[in-house]
Amino acid sequence: MRLAHISDLHILDLHGVTAKRFVSRRVFGGANLLLRRAGAHKIETVERLIEDLLREEPDHILVSGDLSNLALDSEFERAFHLLKLLGDRSRLSVVPGNHDYYTAGAIKARRFEKYFHPYMFERFSDLDPWPYPFVKDLGPIAIVGVNSACQTVPPFAYGMISERQYTNLEAALTAIPAGKLKGVLMHHALHRMPGRKEYTDRLIGRDRFLNTLFKHKVDVVFYGHDHAGRISELRRDGHSLRLICCGSSTRSGDTEDACGRYRIIHLEDGAIRAIDTKVYDPSDRAFHRVF
């Protein structure tokens, strides 16, 4: 089985957004953020990413949040129509990132869930305030989709797991049959991030969350948020937990390290056998495997 892992698409679309609504958006958000992101995350890279994924034909695609910049309807609409090209719930799983919960209004309206619930929940009702985490049995691996997003005020972009979600998470992990790999899909990073990011962008209560993962012998966590990407491993009492940070799949830069990337994870005989990384090369506008 092959899983693809993409993240932090940051799709920009201001279609239908009035100037009045735009300037009334959060103080530190708005223009500066959009001007920076419009250059750093190009829609063309998203389109090349979709094409590359269609060529690779993975069995399932994991999307670890930050589909948008300001959690606007226009951004979600565009992201939804692009992701739809990749398949339905059986082929794709998504979780929200901090940018998908950018405003109190978007959270209250459950805007992210209204667009993307078909990729997360079998049934979704406006009346259920605690739908997370969701679980998908993909055969060799069960994926548990955790919501770590909450509203923050820049420069903060930390994440949190609610008490209610911890209760549901314990139940979900307990119910996964033995012999299946246990995977968690979430947005916020579980490794220590460089510099002030460790302070502004961390998952609050990371140690408690990791204790829960080790208690249930989770094998792998797929996440984003740190746009640079990184693969690491934690060991405790003989159990190994793989941490796969995708990095942003759409960012552009002058060096290979600064360009968009995604992962292809090969599963065989109940274990992760290999992880490929494909990086976007702006010179030929294509994703290539790096070694």
Give the footprint of Fe ion on this chain (CB under 5 A): 8, 66, 97-98, 225
User: Shortest distance, CB of residue 51 to Fe ion, whole angstroms?
Assistant: 22
Question: Across the strands, what pairs with 223?
Answer: 245
User: Shortest distance, CB of residue 238 to Fe ion, whole angstroms?
Assistant: 33
Long-range contacts of 166-173 (CB under 8 A, 24+ apart): 166/212, 168/130, 168/132, 168/133, 169/133, 169/144, 169/212, 170/212, 170/216, 172/133, 172/135, 172/144, 173/144, 173/212, 173/216, 173/218
Q: Is 87 left (phi over 0), alpha (psi -120 to 50) or beta?
A: left
Q: How far is CA 169 from CA 9, 213, 291, in A?
A: 26, 10, 36
Q: For Fe ion, which is the closer residue by CB, 98 or 165?
A: 98
Q: For Fe ion, which is the closer residue by CB, 42 or 182?
A: 42
Q: For Fe ion, which is the closer residue by CB, 111 or 225?
A: 225
User: Shortest distance, CB of residue 124 to Fe ion, whole angstroms?
Assistant: 23
Q: For Fe ion, which is the closer residue by CB, 173 or 246?
A: 246
User: Shortest distance, CB of residue 100 to Fe ion, whole angstroms?
Assistant: 9
CA 167 to chain CA centroid, Å, is 22
User: Shortest distance, CB of residue 269 to Fe ion, whole angstroms?
Assistant: 34
Please tell me the distance from the alpha carbon of residue 148 to that of residue 213, in angstroms, as a whole number: 14
Q: For Fe ion, which is the closer residue by CB, 63 or 144?
A: 63
